[in-house]
Structures are given as structure tokens and as C-alpha cells.
Structure 1
Amino acid sequence: MEGRGHKMQRSAAAGGGGEVSPRAAEGGEWRYWEGLNHEVLALIFTRIPADELARTVPLVCRGWREAVVGPYCWSDIDIEEWCRRVDRPDVIDFAVRKLVRRSRNTLRRLCAYRIGNWGFSLTAYFGNHLRVLQIPMSEINDLTIQKSSGTLTALAVLDISYCKNITSKGILTLGKNCRSLVNLRRNMTPPEYESTQDNGVAAKINEDEALAIANTMEGIEQLELAFGRFSDHGLDAILSNCRALSSLDINGCWNVKLDGDVGMKCDALKFFKDPFYDSYELYPSSCDDDCDDDFDEEAD
């Protein structure tokens, strides 16, 4: 039975789209691929998922192993799908630390899921040139951010959605350190509710994260804050201070009423998803009349 390494080598030699003829192999095709410059090999290997690149490619030949162990393959690390399959923070953190070390300060992009404090710290240590950091549902806390994020001055895109251990203190630190940030995703799960005086329900209002963004991320252009707990007050601070903002998603931010100038400022944005966006999806405007008719019939 043909080994997996030989199959991968054939696939890569054919540009990922077929088998190489036996004559080509006998003519020294493998020696040609084995002797390629590591930077060229790294460009070819970008077509291979990162987890397979780390586990399988080194088994093919010495040249490929040296290329994978070196930094050229790891300036862009996307292991989010693998992390979701594994779903074990300890294993994920170990893998992140291993791959980030290989980057040797060439890291430009990291996409992972459920990484821990050690993984974040090491990423920041090697992150002088890091531009994109997408780490939703991670276990990182404020203290780790305060200790480690000072090196992330080049960071432009950050996704810390569903990171429940990060509070406004961590966001404030990120805003102060990540001065190149233009895109922030801080989507959260729906908040808990409490009864109101008129027997309605509302989420507890907390303006801290919105104010942290407003006070430190003046250059932000794209912002996702789904299910945030802030009200018009926090939103107005963001709209007033973040003058470069062009795209805003506050779906599920039910404490926001969009009263007065706040609503007009939101309407002036190039893209705006309001707190009740999902409701529009469930009840499209085209069915309004039919829905009213059905209700009238049931009432009769």
C-alpha cells in the first residue's frame, strides 16, 4: 500500500490536482521537489490545512521536513476548524504554542479557538508583526492581556467574541496597546434578564465595555458588538469618539433604543445592523399584511 507521504508528494507535485506519472517520478521529479527553496515550498504548502501540514508533510522527505520546521510556513496560522474538532483547551494551547514558536517573529495572522492564557502570551511574545488575531471562545483573562498585549502594536483585526473571562479592563488595555486596530469583533451570548417595574424584561445595563472602546479605539472602522449590555449612552460615546467608524453591528443589544441623535448617527453609517435585526429575518416585511390577516381571522 502506498504511504500517505508519497500520496501527498504526488499531489503537491501535480499542483494539488492529480497524479504524477511513474516516468516523471523515475526521472527525478521527487529530487526536484525535495530541493526547492523553503520559501517556495511554503507558498505551495499554504494549500494544505495547518494541522495536516504539521503532522504529515514532514514525513515526506528531508527537504519538506526542514521547510515545515522553519518559519516560512507559519506566518499565517489558521487552525480554527481543527480546534473546534478537538475542543480541548489544553491540547489546543499546546498546538498553538508549538506553531507560534516556529514562526520566529514572522507571524502575521492567527485564527484559533478556545486558546488559553499561555497560548495568548506566547502569541503576543512573537506578535510584533501580527496583523490579524481571531480567537473566539478563548479562556484568556484580563491579567494575561495586561501583561502580554504590549507587543501587539501592529494588530489591525481582533476577534475576542464569546471570551467570557475578558472584561472592560482587558478591552481598555487592548485599546491602549493596539493602536493600529481597525476591526473589532466582540459578539457575546444573549444576556440574562431581570424583571422591570412594568412586568417586562430587560438585560442589566453595563456601559463599561462600550466606554472602554470609545475612550481607547478612536481609529476603529468596523465594530461587532452583538448582545452587548450597553444602552444609548455607551453607544453614543462610541459614535462620538470613533469618527472613522463605518460599519456597526449591535444585533441583540436590546438596551439600546436609538433615541434622538443616536439613531441618526447610526443611520449615517455605511453599514448598520440594529438591535432587532434577527426579528426582521423571522418576520420579513413582505408578510406583514398576510400576518395581520391571519391574526384577524383567528380573532374572529
Structure 2
Amino acid sequence: MEVASDVHSWDELIPDTLGVIFAKLSIQERLTVIPRVCKSWARAVTGPYCWQEIDIDDWSSFCEPQHIERMVEMLITRSSGSLRKLSVSGLQTERIFNFIAENAGSLRNLRMIRCNMSNHVVEKMSGRLSRISVLDLSYCMQIGDEGIKIIGKNCKQLEVFCRNMHPLDTSGQPLDDAEAFAIATNMPKLRHLEMAYHLISNDGVHQILSSCMKLEHLDLRGCWGVQLDNMSLNQKFPNLKILGPHVLGWDDSSDISDSSSDYVDSDMDEYDDESDDDMWYDGIRIEGLELRVRVYVGIEDAGMHWPASP
């Protein structure tokens, strides 16, 4: 009599289960390694379970805006409406912001850093971001207090808001509490707020503390217009942790590093025997290492001669 075994082979796993497993891998592995293993894995890695959380912030810091937008569109499309987290930097066009908003039905965590967003774009997007609880718009210099007000009025579930600035962008500028007042008036449920190197003053801080009663973390590093009475704050807000305003070892650029773009064109000659209809190529240089992102579009044809699942 044969003894039943609890050990199952990989090819018995359904695509959704494989997708959940593959989601634990890095984005480079999901795009460049998994699709080349076998046909069933290539199909599974394009499913929505692999792309509910998309974090390409580091990758996008080294790419041209048009390539970032192509990647964002492709990965969000793969999520099939199940996108819960998106982290990206350097987006530039209103078209891509509209695309993100149109696919934000399940989005909870949105981080768009160093993006060319204006108050007008924020107004168009925010109505579709009502379920957002985490929002990072650091270094987005075109957004002002009007945009912050719109976000607060539409994103009622917002608990984490990051609005850090680069010290070189705020150095020598006069103090301005307009954004602080907008946050205080429209984001009462905040638990975590970051405003590093902002032009905020004591008045702005006190307004935030008086209105955001659930606040547990406040980052004021580099906010040189703020002078806090720590003893008084500890008594009034015992559960609140405040960072700053002083920064150890601070200079004009010590705390925040610039990003640069370095796009490397793909060497298509190496793949002359492959069909252009089946593949999309993009060469990316990250930390001096050139990675070739090969995303299979025509899965059925591309995987026709691949081995069976391991």
C-alpha cells in the first residue's frame, strides 16, 4: 500500500498561490528572473497578486521620467484594480497622475516623491484617493497650502502624511505657516507627520498640536524657525515623539541626498532572434550595475518551448 505524502510539487500550486509567493521577491527578480523559469511561472508573475504593492522608488531615482511612467503604467495594469501600495519618484506628467487616480480604488499607501504635481493635479486626483491612509508628497515643490487643504478634505482616513523638503529648496526663505495651518484644519486624524526642513514656525507647530490630537510622531528636523519647550510639550503630549528641529552633523545637504538619472539604452542586437512582439526591453543602471528588464507580453508564444514547472 502506498503511503500518502504531504510533499507537493510546485506545478500543483495554482497561479494565485504562486503570485502570493512571488510578491515576496524583489521587483528585479519578479521582472527578470521569474518570467524566464517556465511558462506557468511567467503567467503567474503577471497576475494581480504579484503587484498589489509596487515600490520602485529606488529604481525610479535613476531613470528618465518617460521610462518611469511606462513602468508605472505596466505594473498598475497588472494589479488589475487590486493596487494597495505605490511608491515612486520623479513622475512629471498630468497623464500619469490621472492614470494612477483612475486605478486607485484599493489604494491605501501612496508615496510620490519629487514629482511635478501642482495644486490643480491634486484637485483632480484627490477625489479618487478617499481610502488613502498613508501619503508622502515630499519634495513636491509645486504643491502649496491649497493642495494640502484639498487632500485633507477628500482623504478623511489619512493617518500618515509626509511633506519633507530639501534644505537647499528652503534655505534663506521666509517662514510660512500656510501649509501647517492647512494640515491642522483639515487632517485631524493624523498620527504621523513629517515636515523636515519646512518653513514652519512655533505658531504652525502649536496649531498642529492643538488640532491633531491623535498625533504620535512629529518630524521637525531642520525646521530652524521652531523653538520648542520640551518640558512643556512632554507634560501636555506625553505620547508624542518629536524629532528636531536640530539635526546632528547638519549641513546644507547632509540629511537628504539628490538623485540622478542615468538611462542606458538596450542592446537589441543581442536579441535579434527574439520577436519584438513578445518582449519589451529597458536597460537600467542601478548603483553601477546594468540590469536588463525583460517583461514578457506574449506569454503563450514566448513560453512555448520552456520547460515544465519545477
**Which TM-score band applies after superposition, normalised by the shorter structure?**
0.7 to 0.9
Amino acid paired to 2:46: V
CA contact (8 A) 1:232 1:262 kept: no
**Structure 2 CA distance for aligned equivalents of residues 231 and 250 of structure 1:** 10
CA contact (8 A) 2:148 2:179 kept: yes
Q: Compare 49-58 and 34-43 and name the one that shifted more.
A: 49-58
Distance change (3 Å), C-alpha of 1:93 and 1:263 = same
**Structure 1 CA distance for aligned equivalents of residues 46 and 144 of structure 2:** 37
Which of 101, 105, 110 is residue 81 of structure 2 equivalent to?
A: 105
Structure 2 residue aligned with 1:15: none
Deviation at 1:219, TM superposition (A): 0.2
**Structure 2 CA distance for aligned equivalents of residues 89 and 266 of structure 1:** 46
TM-score, normalised relative to structure 1: 0.73
Which of 203, 206, 213 is residue 176 of structure 2 equivalent to?
A: 206
Length, aligned pairs only: 243
Deviation at 1:239, TM superposition (A): 0.8
Deviation at 1:34, TM superposition (A): 4.3
Amino acid paired to 1:248: L
Give the 5 Å matches for 1:9-158: 32-34=9-11, 36-84=13-61, 86-116=62-92, 117-158=94-135
Structure 1 residue aligned with 2:292: none
CA contact (8 A) 2:85 2:110 kept: yes
CA contact (8 A) 2:30 2:45 kept: yes
Distance change (3 Å), C-alpha of 1:193 and 1:75 = closer
**Structure 2 CA distance for aligned equivalents of residues 210 and 266 of structure 1:** 20
**Structure 2 CA distance for aligned equivalents of residues 97 and 60 of structure 1:** 24
Greater fraction strand: 2
Distance change (3 Å), C-alpha of 1:156 and 1:265 = farther
Structure 1 residue aligned with 2:147: 170
Cα deviation 1:138-179 (Å, max 9, x = unaligned):
222221111122111111111111111222222211111111
Deviation at 1:42, TM superposition (A): 1.0
CA contact (8 A) 1:133 1:155 kept: yes
Deviation at 1:259, TM superposition (A): 6.2
User: 5+ residue gaps in structure 1?
Assistant: 1-28, 195-202, 282-300
Identity %: 34
CA contact (8 A) 1:221 1:246 kept: yes
**Structure 2 CA distance for aligned equivalents of residues 112 and 193 of structure 1:** 26
Structure 1 residue aligned with 2:273: none
**Structure 1 CA distance for aligned equivalents of residues 96 and 164 of structure 2:** 21
Deviation at 1:133, TM superposition (A): 1.2
**Structure 1 CA distance for aligned equivalents of residues 96 and 206 of structure 2:** 35
Deviation at 1:264, TM superposition (A): 6.0
Distance change (3 Å), C-alpha of 1:72 and 1:264 = closer
Q: Compare 247-256 and 108-117 and name the one that shifted more.
A: 108-117
SS at match of 1:223: strand
The answer to whether 1:226 aligns with 2:196 is yes
**Structure 1 CA distance for aligned equivalents of residues 147 and 236 of structure 2:** 26
SS at match of 2:126: helix
Distance change (3 Å), C-alpha of 1:141 and 1:55 = farther
**Structure 2 CA distance for aligned equivalents of residues 65 and 280 of structure 1:** 48
Deviation at 1:269, TM superposition (A): 4.3
Deviation at 1:280, TM superposition (A): 9.3
Amino acid paired to 1:228: H
Deviation at 1:187, TM superposition (A): 0.8
**Structure 2 CA distance for aligned equivalents of residues 232 and 248 of structure 1:** 13
Q: CA RMSD in A?
A: 2.7
TM-score, normalised relative to structure 2: 0.71
Structure 1 residue aligned with 2:246: 276
**Structure 2 CA distance for aligned equivalents of residues 173 and 59 of structure 1:** 45
Deviation at 1:229, TM superposition (A): 0.7
**Structure 2 CA distance for aligned equivalents of residues 134 and 91 of structure 1:** 18
CA contact (8 A) 1:232 1:256 kept: yes
SS at match of 1:135: strand
Deviation at 1:55, TM superposition (A): 3.9
CA contact (8 A) 1:236 1:262 kept: no
Q: Which has the larger radius of gyration?
A: 1
